[in-house]
Amino acid sequence: QVQLVESGGGSVQAGGSLRLSCQVFGYIYSTYCMAWFRQAPGKEREGVAAICSDGRTSYADSVKGRFTISQDNAKNTLYLQMTSLKLEDTARYYCAADYYPHLIVDERWEAESEYKYWGQGTQVTVSS
């Protein structure tokens, strides 16, 4: 069983930065893809960034150049460094994981249905 626990959300002014963390508990697969998704009120959940054990990363166009996904395998933790935050980044951010390692090369990383494990989310609110 795998459990994902997000933290690091909060309120920040536009132009500011936040770093989200996703702690992984339970069985750690040697092959995987992990991703950050977000859902704003009244909108569908969307993929933000992904990282897979095959060495690839990918980002949504809306966050390229501003967000960075990374991982610390020793700490079993996934991160999302968010900079130059905009009002439209306001959303609940979710961590997701699956043991299939080729979601990026297969161009399927943005599909929610590809991920078996999900966290409860952490709220990010950007104000002017």
- What is the chain's mean pLDDT, rounded? 96
Q: Which of 61-65, 73-77, 80-84 has the lowest mean pLDDT?
A: 73-77
DSSP the chain: -EEEEEE--EEEETT--EEEEEEEEE---SS-EEEEEEE-TTS--EEEEEEETTS-EEE-TTTTTTEEEEEEGGGTEEEEEE-S--GGG-EEEEEEEES-TTTTTTT-TT-GGG-SEE---EEEEEE-
For position 30, what pLDDT does the model report?
86
pLDDT at 29 over 90: no
Mean pLDDT value across residues 3-15 = 98
